[in-house]
Amino acid sequence: MARNKSDGGSLTPLIRKILQTLVDDAGREGLALTPERVEKSLRFLTSGYQTDVRKVVNDALYSVKYDEMVIVRDIEFFSLCEHHLLPFFGKIHVAYLPRNRVIGLSKIPRIVDVFARRLQIQERLTQEIAHSIQDMIKPIGVGVICEARHLCMMMRGVEKQHSGAVTSAMLGAFRTRKETRDEFLSLVAHKPNGA
């Protein structure tokens, strides 16, 4: 029977049962409280399902006449791969060309967190961030680049320790104007002095 995700059911007994299946002594000192800790961890790492991105942004949307690119880059994130429940992590770069409104700069990393704290694949994460910004401020265009390393590739499967994946979502002018896209890519690649 499917469990309603909003019914507040405890994961602890299920996690305890998994441990009893995997290890010879699931009750030993080091594992005794593991089911509770894992549940708390999983609740936090999937808290994006209970978070409304519009409430996170709140009223940090401002009318302003500004027609140059806005970029917030190197936003660190951690997420869980929906295929193996193993972490993937990296950096996300977000840019947009305002039409009549801008979004508070600190809200962009918060938007990233809302979508990263869900069971994800990198491609969807990248698109959800772009579409969320597009829907909220209706800019001329939005560009999102996600660079990530996946533990499901590093710890199991192909076991490639140094491989990474890059995904992008380009909307509006970032898709239709090569010079806009090239400017974004150039500014993301440029490292400031001392970086």
pLDDT at 194: 58
6 within domain boundaries:
no
Same-domain check for residues 38 and 71? no
pLDDT at 195: 57
* Section 106-122 average pLDDT: 98
The answer, yes or no, to whether residue 5 has pLDDT greater than 60, is no
Same-domain check for residues 19 and 89? no
Q: Which residues contact 47 (CB under 8 A, 6 or more apart)?
A: 117
- pTM, two decimal places: 0.90
* Section 94-121 average pLDDT: 97
Same-domain check for residues 59 and 20? no
The answer, yes or no, to whether residue 1 has pLDDT greater than 90, is no
- For the four alpha carbons of 156, 120, 39 and 109, in that order, the dihedral sign comes to positive
Q: Is 83 a catalytic residue?
A: yes
Of 114, 109, 124, 130, residue with least CA distance to 48: 114
Same-domain check for residues 69 and 160? yes
1 within domain boundaries:
no
Same-domain check for residues 22 and 60? no
pLDDT at 187: 93
Same-domain check for residues 128 and 35? no
Domain extent, residue 23, equals 12-45
Q: How far apart are CA 61 and CA 122, in angstroms?
A: 27
The confidence band for 178, taking pLDDT boundaries of 50, 70 and 90, is: very high
- Arithmetic mean of pLDDT over the chain: 92
Same-domain check for residues 58 and 28? no
Q: Yes or no: say if 91 and 76 are a contact pair by the CB < 8 Å rule.
A: yes
Q: How far apart are CA 93 and CA 185, in angstroms?
A: 10
Q: Give per-residue pLDDT as tens, 135-173.
A: 999 999 999 999 999 998 888 877 777 789 999 999 999
The answer, yes or no, to whether residue 191 has pLDDT greater than 90, is no
Q: Give per-residue pLDDT as tens, 78-88.
A: 999 999 999 99
94 within domain boundaries:
yes
Q: Is 122 a catalytic residue?
A: yes
CA 192 → CA 80, 145, 189, distances in Å? Answer: 31, 18, 10
The confidence band for 111, taking pLDDT boundaries of 50, 70 and 90, is: very high
Q: Specify the 3-state DSSP secondary structure of 164.
A: coil
173 within domain boundaries:
yes
Q: Is 146 a catalytic residue?
A: no
Catalytic residue among 122, 127, 128, 183: 122
Catalytic residue among 20, 36, 39, 84: 84
Return the DSSP state at 140: S
Torsion of CA 14, 20, 22, 27, to 10 degrees: 120
Same-domain check for residues 32 and 88? no
Q: How far apart are CA 192 and CA 120, in angstroms?
A: 31
58 within domain boundaries:
yes
Q: In the chain, how many domains are there?
A: 2
pLDDT at 161: 75
Find where tokens 């193996």 sit: 84
Find the helix or strand (DSSP H, E) in which 55 lies.
Answer: helix 53-57
Q: Which residues contact 1 (CB under 8 A, 6 or more apart)?
A: none
Q: Give per-residue pLDDT as tens, 40-68.
A: 999 999 999 999 999 999 989 999 999 89
Same-domain check for residues 35 and 127? no
Q: Is 150 a catalytic residue?
A: yes
Q: Is 81 a catalytic residue?
A: yes
Q: Is 82 a catalytic residue?
A: yes
147 within domain boundaries:
yes
Same-domain check for residues 153 and 66? yes
Percent of the chain with pLDDT over 90: 82
Same-domain check for residues 121 and 105? yes
Same-domain check for residues 142 and 174? yes
